[in-house]
Amino acid sequence: MAESTALYDIPGPRARRRHRLYGVVSTAAIVLLLGWVVQLLFATGQFSATKWRPFEYQGIQELLLRGLGNTLAAFACAAVLSVALGGVLACGRLSEHRPVRWLATAPVEFFRAMPVLVMIFFIFVALQVRALPALVAGLTLYNGSVLAEVFRTGVNSVERGQREAAYALGMRKTQVMTYVLVPQAVRAMLPTIISQLVVALKDTSLGYLITYEEFLHAGKLIASNLDYDLPFIPVVMVISPIYIGMCMLLSWFAHRLAARRRRGPGAQTMGAVPAAPGTLLPDGR
């Protein structure tokens, strides 16, 4: 007997058969599309030995590893600084003093509206900063301003009664933020924070435009090599899965962290066993 919820009805036999048909048709269409793409790649010689030969050489492997290391270094610096800047700006925007709110709002709105590439170029060319600091500074200013809004929205999403109850207990504003609002807001903010960090990771590829030797820059050097018949597609097929894997690793870390926070330190008591129905407490109740 089919059960239903307030949101939807569980599909019946005819609906399930229709859904299976849709799934088979969609899968067949995707397989045909992938087959067509692979056939085009073979037809244009993208799998020829000449185009894939560069990856056999130790020098090119070291070039890719060095580029990957530079990408991770730029991302690590930008991620830490973005979170720190976002926290500072969010505190300013949540301040009760109007001048402080204005001072925090101005950079948030300005850097959120400014294209990342323009900021990176301005810092690199106009201020004559080296490639890595220029890339990190541009990513930090943009992502930090976005994260500031994420933090502010997350704190404001906590039920107002939590704040009022904390103040009623005599807690100061710093204590309310630290022990009441922020721990609850993190659960709501975490997916958005990780999504923004994924954006920062992908934006490190803009570093090749200012000659920073990151992962994409290394791939560009290999792809433009005439000795190997311009292996652009092989380079893309090597670099893209690595970028996707790094982004998926960040998402996996976010899910694990969110799951641990949902369990919480007091969610399960160490060594506690659920009492059987009818069991009396020590005081006889």
The per-residue pLDDT for range 15-48, each reduced to its tens digit, is 888 889 999 999 999 999 999 999 998 888 888 8
Domain that holds residue 256: 58-261
Tell me whether residue 270 is in a domain.
no
Q: Is the pLDDT of residue 226 over 60?
A: yes
CATH number at residue 161: 1.10.3720.10
Q: Is the pLDDT of residue 284 over 70?
A: no
Q: Is the pLDDT of residue 228 over 90?
A: no
Tell me whether residue 213 is in a domain.
yes
Q: Is the pLDDT of residue 101 over 50?
A: yes
The tens digit of pLDDT for each residue in 240-269 reads 999 999 988 888 887 777 677 666 554 443
Lowest model confidence (mean pLDDT) among 167-176, 206-215, 252-261, 262-271: 262-271
Tell me whether residue 83 is in a domain.
yes
Integer-rounded Cα radius of gyration of the chain: 26
Q: Is the pLDDT of residue 57 over 70?
A: yes
Tell me whether residue 273 is in a domain.
no
Tell me whether residue 274 is in a domain.
no
d(C-alpha 147, C-alpha 285), whole Å: 51
Tell me whether residue 188 is in a domain.
yes
- Mean predicted confidence (pLDDT) in 155-177: 82
Q: What is the pLDDT of residue 6?
A: 52
Tell me whether residue 37 is in a domain.
no
Q: Is the pLDDT of residue 104 over 80?
A: yes
Tell me whether residue 25 is in a domain.
no
Give the total number of structural domains in the chain. 1
